[in-house]
Amino acid sequence: MKKSNLAIIFLLIVALAAAYGYRRYTQRPPSFTKGMVGRDAPSFNLPASKGGQINLADYRGKLVLLNFWASWCPPCRAEMPGFVKLQKEYMDKPFRIIGAAAEDKRAADKFADQIGVNYPYAFGLEAVMERAAAYGNPDGGLPYSVLISKDQKILSVYYGYLSEAKLKQMIDENI
């Protein structure tokens, strides 16, 4: 067989494997997220990018999207501009996004400044990954989003890229 044919077959196999992985992890949540919906949202107190702490209890009475991300994560980078847009759109409504960057402050701030993040976010690899595990993501896969009700119950868990349209639907259904 010619080298060019082998290269094409290899690329086809890689593309099929990538498509399978994308479908598996964005269309169906991993089994470890089962049982999270309906539970009380675990409390947390994480260092905030702008100083102080972010505490979930401070958001009681608001619908909250808790989004775990990192600047090096391509799907995180892709979904966050939509989050910025929706946070602005729903600013006068009882909805807030809280980000949790699984990295150091400098890297998180640099990316957040680039895209104009308009919502509070925490940072710190260890602390954020501990919170992700408490919210049903023990392996720390990113992005990982959790929708929390006004009375701080977990409404849904979303593993992988969360589109602006899907988030808008989730907000409108629960606000």
Collapsed DSSP state (helix, strand, coil) of residue 144 = strand
- Contact indicator for 161, 79 with CB cutoff of 8 Å: yes
Query: Quick one: angle between helices 74-89 and 164-174, nearest 10?
Result: 40
Of the CA atoms within 13 Å of residue 163, those in its CB half-sphere come to 5
Architecture of domain 35-174: 3-Layer(aba) Sandwich (3.40)
What pLDDT tens digit does each residue of the chain (175 aa) get? Answer: 666 666 566 555 644 444 444 444 444 444 456 689 999 999 999 999 999 999 999 999 999 999 999 999 999 999 999 999 999 999 999 999 999 999 999 999 999 999 999 999 999 999 999 999 999 998 899 999 999 999 999 999 999 999 999 999 999 999 9
Nearest partner of 135 among 87, 100, 86, 170, judged by Cα: 100
**pTM for the predicted model, two decimal places:** 0.82
CA–CA separation, 14 and 74 (whole Å): 18
